[in-house]
């Protein structure tokens, strides 16, 4: 709801966050607009850093899951990625073609497909880690340890708020606690 002056007029025009380069619609949600811009720029920066690995943004997240989990059913991988099945299938096709993943029939259920990282992908694991370290360094440049801790705390709160609102957090577990990677 916009701030109103004592005469009922909309006070957002005096808000320094609502400059001429912010669309009128975004003036009602400056933080959401900032998050959208930051998320977009973060993805672009990740893409640039991942180019040296030969991966596209999102593929590294899929590979991280496989490096951590070992062989997993494709259906479970799709659920854990919280992406459209066709998107994950296309990612897997590209990664398979590059020699980074192997797909095979599940011996326990021949209808199911197991997906696993290949030995060839192991070197890539360290390149991806380096890219993410560089991304973190670029993203947080100029923030001291206290600011980094506060940013992480605030982003976790924002994430939890959005999880409650959207009910779109696959990592959500019992008792309303947000758990990641089984911890």
Summarize pLDDT for 28-58 with one digit per residue, the tens.
Answer: 789 999 999 999 999 999 999 999 999 998 9
Paired residues of 106 in beta bridges? 109
Asked if residues 52 and 37 have their Cβ atoms less than 8 Å apart, the reply is no
Alpha carbon distance 10, 37 (integer Å): 25
Has residue 105 got a pLDDT over 70?
A: yes
Reading the block at residue 64, the tokens are 């991280």
Summarize pLDDT for 69-94 with one digit per residue, the tens.
Answer: 999 999 999 998 888 999 999 999 99
Q: What integer pLDDT is reported at residue 14 of this predicted model?
A: 56
Alpha carbon distance 73, 116 (integer Å): 9
Separation of CA 154 from chain center:
16
Name the more confident of 61 and 180.
61
Residues 6+ apart with CB under 8 A from 141: none
Q: What integer pLDDT is reported at residue 68 of this predicted model?
A: 93
The domain limits of the chain are 56-130
- Compute the average pLDDT of residues 112-126: 93
Under CATH, which number does the domain 56-130 receive? 1.10.10.10
Q: In the sheet that 109-117 helps form, which strands lie side by side, from edge to edge?
A: 72-73, 109-117, 101-106
């Amino acid at each position: 709801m916009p701030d109103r002056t004592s005469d009922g007029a909309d006070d957002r025009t005096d808000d320094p966050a609502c400059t001429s380069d912010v669309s009128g619609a975004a003036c009602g949600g400056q933080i959401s607009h900032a998050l959208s811009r930051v998320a977009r720029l973060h993805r672009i920066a990740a893409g640039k850093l991942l180019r040296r690995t030969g991966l596209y943004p999102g593929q590294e997240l899929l590979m991280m899951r496989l490096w951590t989990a070992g062989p997993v059913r494709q259906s479970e991988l799709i659920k854990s990625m919280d992406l459209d099945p066709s998107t994950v299938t296309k990612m897997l096709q590209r990664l398979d073609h590059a020699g980074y993943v192997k797909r095979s029939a599940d011996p326990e259920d021949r209808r199911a497909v197991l997906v696993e990282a290949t030995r060839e992908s192991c070197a890539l694991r360290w390149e991806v880690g380096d890219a993410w370290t560089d991304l973190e360094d670029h993203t947080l440049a100029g923030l001291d340890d206290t600011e980094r801790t506060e940013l992480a705390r605030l982003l976790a709160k924002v994430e939890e708020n959005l999880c409650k609102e959207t009910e779109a957090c696959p990592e959500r577990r019992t008792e309303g606690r947000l758990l990641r990677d089984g911890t």
